[in-house]
Amino acid sequence: MGLDVEMKTAEPAAAPSPLIHLKAAIALIEKGVAKKEMRLMARAIRQMLAVRRRLKASTVSSFLNYALPSGSEALSRLLGFVAKVELGDASMEVDTPPSMAQSSQLSYKQSVLPELESFSYLLVIIFLIDQKHLEDAKVCSSAAIKRLQQFNRRTLDVLAARLYFYYSLSYERTDSLADIRGTLLALHRTATLRHDELGQETLLNLLLRNYLHYNLYDQAEKLRSKTLRSDSHSNQQLCRYLYYLGKIRTIQLEYTDAKECLLQAARKAPSSARGFRIQCTKWAAIVRLLLGEIPERTTFMQQGMRKALLPYFELTNAVRIGDLELFRAVADKNASVFYADKTHNLIVRLRHNVIRTGLRNISISYSRISLRDVASKLHLDSATAVADAESIVTKAIRDGGIDASVDHSKGWMQSKETGDIYSTQEPQQAFHSRIAFCLNTHNEAVKALRFPPDAHKKELESAEKRRERQQQELELAKHIAEEDDDEF
Amino acid sequence: MEAKLQDINHIFQKFQVEYARNSFDNCNNLLSQLKVKLTELPGLPPLFKPSPTAAQELVLARDILEHAVVLSVKMEDQDAFERHFLQLKSYYTDTRGLVPPSEQEYPILGLNLLRLLVQNRIAEFHTELELLPPEAHENACIKHAVELEQSFMEGAYNRVLSARQAVPHETYVYFMDLLAKTVRDEIAGCSEKAYDSLSVTDAKKILMFSSDWELQEYVSEDHPSWEIRGSSVYFQKVKDLAPCKEIPSLQLINQTLGYARELERIV
């Protein structure tokens, strides 16, 4: 698909060496397991990704020696992969790898947390993918998935979801996505049974991506519509889901839904995910054209996207003018781009919209025009051009594209007077939908706010205290009153 | 396994003889026998068990199903067509690496596209279209269906009808005839909206009827709201989008109360 849907937020690299960062990540994971706090896991992964670009074979292997018990199966396997990379670019190595004796001393402890093991797998897989050792990454990720299937721990979910993602990525890069479909489906089933919502979400997206990679829209839609989706746990996964859903809807000609999904995906995607946003914008532009809307010029002029969107800009221009000749020329000129984006079939569908727009322009400019002139203006060049024009015009009238009527005997098209839109309910409805949108956005924002756990308890305690205090005061008052009585 | 294959081959030959003679009942009987026999072959989907005869089995089964599809077109049975086609489809998609592609593949895929068009299942039409590789669009059979869909969407019905003369395969004629009916209904729907009235002669020409009587029959059956008065057909217009005279008070109240509630929550 040529598109990088990775949406990692790249954090500015900090100065200390990667190894220190990774060790800090271990501490986070252990704390996370102890406290059952998922967010710490996610933070550990983020910390690793921050040093991703600076990873070296030596760093990775010393980390592995540190994190995993010596002599364990995982350690020897993972070290094997890293050693291969090291051999590949031995000339570039400057750091001396720590000696075995030293590392075994450093070894963390004898039995290791499954989370730490998964984390090590994840690190090695990412490292292998970055170093372009894709076959090894495939083997390694398959082993990791096998290992994961032996555990049933909720604290693993965050790490597992990431592992699934890289598992699929390594197969996609080696163009063998079809092989893992069965495994992914099995994993999705397991995740559903265990209420691992993040896993479900990730795996569903991976499956959709898997199907769409082979244009299996039918299967993708069937899977999607039969899967229960809970509220999203991760913004990235939600974006991806919306993008895939938008694509499916586009193919099924449900353009209104598709537009909503694609625009939302583009809006929600983090600004660093440029490739993803470009892809969303491309599809959204086509869907809007198919709906008969013209995307604004600014859509195509966004920072850093201008060049990638140029073919689509030209296309929009052709549709806007309603010129079939120009449209054909643009489609031919950029055919290779459209094939690569898999939008070619959609472009073919657009032809009909070009005619429609042209017709609308004619109907606005002329109050009455002969069908012969319509045919020549639309460049309909067949033997029965006038009859063609007539049937096209009648269909446009039926579909509500233009407001006109045709006089067959006299052979002309008569446009109707456009009524005053403000005498209808239209403005009221438009206004309402905008207000509803704003209110909805506000509510979503409130929902998305994160509250620290147990924060409300403090207040509760203080309330208790207050009650205590009030009681004390009450007693005191009573006391005083009694004293008063005594004195009396 | 060899024996089974020979057995099937034998029945299939008998089937082909009957098929060439166009005796459909016999064909149907033999076909059900064949389908039962096919279930005994382990090399077929969904098992795909590798064996020395697997490729042979696949080709044979595909051949039989292809005949079944064409047979159902000849018998004008759309449901059977869909069933057989769905069975056949997995041979086209999942056996790409195992056996050489069939010559009948594109004609049959084109036929299926045409069927979806006739049944007005446009979404599925496009889903199927996405599955085809770019080079398939050059094929005459696929191109035919794709161009038909385009003309159909544009409203260039003349082109749809004239395409009947240029069918790429004899089996396509059946669906093209069905398509003509769909087109007539479409034209009727469009005319209703676009014209105030039409002279009977024009209406006949536009709706492709040869006699006044046929036109009357059609109008009374499918469009009872139309009226034939004298030498013209009058279409009853449904008045839509009349400017609203009264204020939709209940709806407005509901909306306003909704805003108040939401604002309360914000402040």
Sequence spans of domains, chain A:
1-92+103-171, 176-233, 241-364, 366-417
Summarised one tens digit per residue, pLDDT across range A86-101 is 776 554 444 444 434 3
pLDDT band at B253 (very low <50, low <70, confident <90, very high): very high
Looking at this protein, which amino acid is placed at residue A412? W
User: Which residues of chain A lie closer than 8 angstroms to B131, CB-CB?
Assistant: 215-216
CATH class given for the domain over A366-417: mainly alpha
Q: Which CATH architecture has domain B2-196?
A: Alpha Horseshoe (1.25)
Residue of B194, B248, B252 lying closest to A406 (CB–CB): B194
By the 8 A CB rule, do A287 and A347 touch?
Answer: no
Instruction: Give the span between the Cα atoms of B113 and B123, in whole angstroms.
Output: 11
Q: Tally C-beta pairs within 8 A across A and B.
A: 104
pLDDT, residue A456, reads 66
By the 8 A CB rule, do B158 and A384 touch?
Answer: yes
pLDDT band at B112 (very low <50, low <70, confident <90, very high): very high
DSSP bridge pairs for A414:
A368, A405
Reported as half-sphere exposure (CB side, CA atoms, 13 A), residue B243 has a value of 7
Whether chain A has a CB inside 8 Å of the CB on B147: the answer is no
Ordered by start, the domain boundaries in chain B are: 2-196, 197-240
Residue of A251, A345, A392 lying closest to B154 (CB–CB): A392
pLDDT, residue A258, reads 94
DSSP bridge pairs for B234:
B197, B227
Of residues B245 and B214, more confidence is placed in: B214
Instruction: Provide block-wise average pLDDT over 10 residues at a time, chain A (488 residues).
Output: 42 61 85 83 84 83 83 80 72 42 43 82 90 88 89 86 92 89 92 89 94 91 88 84 94 92 91 90 93 88 88 91 88 90 88 86 87 84 80 86 84 79 82 91 84 66 76 81 62
Q: What is the mean pLDDT of chain B?
A: 84
**Is-cis flag, bond preceding A97, omega within 30?**
no
pLDDT, residue A13, reads 43
Q: How do strand A404-407 and strand B197-199 relate by DSSP bridges? A: unpaired
Whether chain A has a CB inside 8 Å of the CB on B122: the answer is yes
User: Which residues of chain B lie closer than 8 angstroms to A215, CB-CB?
Assistant: 130-131
- Nearest residue of chain B to residue A396 (CA atoms): B155
ipTM above 0.85, yes or no: no
Instruction: Give the span between the Cα atoms of A124 and A86, in whole angstroms.
Output: 13
Summarised one tens digit per residue, pLDDT across range A349-371 is 888 888 888 888 888 888 888 88
- Nearest residue of chain B to residue A218 (CA atoms): B127
Q: Measured on CA atoms in the order B175, B180, B183, B188, is the torsion positive or negative?
A: negative
pLDDT, residue A116, reads 86
Whether chain A has a CB inside 8 Å of the CB on B159: the answer is yes
> Which candidate in A341, A363, A381, A395 is best for mutational testing of the B interface (most B CBs within 10 A)?
A395
User: Which residues of chain A lie closer than 8 angstroms to B156, CB-CB?
Assistant: 388, 391-392
Instruction: Give the span between the Cα atoms of B220 and B217, in whole angstroms.
Output: 5
User: Which residues of chain B lie closer than 8 angstroms to A384, CB-CB?
Assistant: 158
Interface touch B193/A394, C-beta < 8 Å: yes
Interface touch A423/B153, C-beta < 8 Å: no
Whether chain A has a CB inside 8 Å of the CB on B101: the answer is no
The token pair at B222 is 């499918």
Distances (CA, A) of A232 to A77, A130, A187, A200: 35, 29, 19, 10
Region class of A195: left (phi > 0), else alpha (psi between -120 and 50), else beta: left
Whether chain A has a CB inside 8 Å of the CB on B120: the answer is no
**Residue A147 CB coordination number (10 Å):** 17
Residue of B159, B186, B195 lying closest to A408 (CB–CB): B195
Residue A165 CB partners (closer than 8 Å, separation 6+): A202, A206
Closest CA to B179 of B261, B122, B230, B118: B118
Sheet of B197-199: strands edge to edge?
A: B197-199, B232-234, B227-229
- Nearest residue of chain A to residue B146 (CA atoms): A348
Whether chain A has a CB inside 8 Å of the CB on B196: the answer is yes
